[in-house]
Amino acid sequence: MIKKIITLLVLIIIFCTACTKKTERQVNTFDEIIKRGYINVGVKTDSFPFGYKDSKGNYAGFDVDLAKIIAGEIFKDKSRVKFVPVTSSDRMMKLFSEDIDFIIATMSITTAREQILDFSNSYHNAGQSILVRSGSKIKGLRDLNNKKVIIVFGSTSERSLRSAVPSALIVGYKNYKDAYKALKAGKADAIVSDDSILLGFSLKDSGVKLLPKRYTKEPYAIAFRKGAESKELIKIINEILDNQRHKGVLKNLRKQYGIK
């Protein structure tokens, strides 16, 4: 009950922030983006291979490339995009309070989120899985009973883990880098999150392993502020996504980043 009240209060705060900001600045429409000459996109920097910084410090990853493709389609110039770093825990707040047109940030469509956000069509299907240290005896969800399990705040795994394994002792972190460091340091027994993000850690580090089973469906989509201001933009972006899918561009991009 208390959890429900807290969730409701958070939603109200997010809504109010959105309303105040809307009156403070111009409403963001597709026309305004065209006038401005570039898109402002929130992307991750802690979620290899979807959103991260490469060795030169540049934004990179599937979601980052998708933003460039969208800029290329709108402006015929892929460089017409300004990136704003977001995490799972701050992405909604940033979408409502900063100059971000939309976020491409490993974000799943959920019914709860649809109450306060608008989504594009889905561009990737992930699913939650479990990351453990290599020597671990954990083989599946059942083994997480009474274990310390890491989630990242603001991600879907926070809720799914609570209902799938109520006895798990949940340890929350603000981003995936800290979550991974905590697992390596033995502060918990596992991380539960999307396989696409956890795979990134297991590809780079043989000291951790990703368990193969998926427990949820996580359809990734681009998220927008809810309302009339986003309608035209969403329509155009959906057309771009459909086109790129048909041309095989999304499939190639997945291949390029080793995403399944």
Contact window for ligand GLU (CB under 6 A) among 57-65, 190-198, 226-234, 242-250: 190-198
Is residue 193 a contact point for ligand GLU (CB under 6 A)? Answer: yes
Residue 260 Cα distances to 49, 199, 251, 255, 257, angstroms:
11, 10, 9, 8, 9
Is residue 106 a contact point for ligand GLU (CB under 6 A)? Answer: yes
Long-range contacts of 227-233 (CB under 8 A, 24+ apart): 227/118, 229/22, 229/27, 229/28, 229/29, 230/28, 230/102, 230/118, 232/29, 232/30, 232/31, 233/28, 233/29, 233/30, 233/33, 233/101, 233/102
- Cβ atoms of 33 and 99 within 8 Å: the answer is no
Residues 216-255 that bind ligand GLU (CB under 6 A): 218
Phi, psi of 121 (to 5 degrees): -65, 160
| Shortest Cβ 128–ligand GLU spacing (Å) | 7
∠ CA 10-13-15, nearest 5°, is 110
| Shortest Cβ 246–ligand GLU spacing (Å) | 25
Q: Give the CB-nearest residue to ligand GLU.
A: 155
Site map (CB under 6 A) of ligand GLU, residues 58-97, x = contact: ------------------------------x---------
Is residue 155 a contact point for ligand GLU (CB under 6 A)? Answer: yes
Q: How far is CA 228 from the centre of its chain?
A: 23
Q: Which of 46, 63, 65, 194 contacts ligand GLU by CB under 6 A?
A: 194
Contact window for ligand GLU (CB under 6 A) among 1-9, 104-112, 131-139, 225-233: 104-112
DSSP secondary structure code for residue 108 in this structure: B
Whole-angstrom distance, CA of residue 247 vs CA of residue 233: 21
Is residue 107 a contact point for ligand GLU (CB under 6 A)? Answer: yes
Q: Which of 40, 120, 156, 160 contacts ligand GLU by CB under 6 A?
A: 156
| Shortest Cβ 65–ligand GLU spacing (Å) | 17
Is residue 129 a contact point for ligand GLU (CB under 6 A)? Answer: no
Tell me which residue has tokens 């999304």. 250
Q: Contact residues for ligand GLU (CB under 6 A)?
A: 88, 106-108, 152, 155-156, 193-194, 197, 218
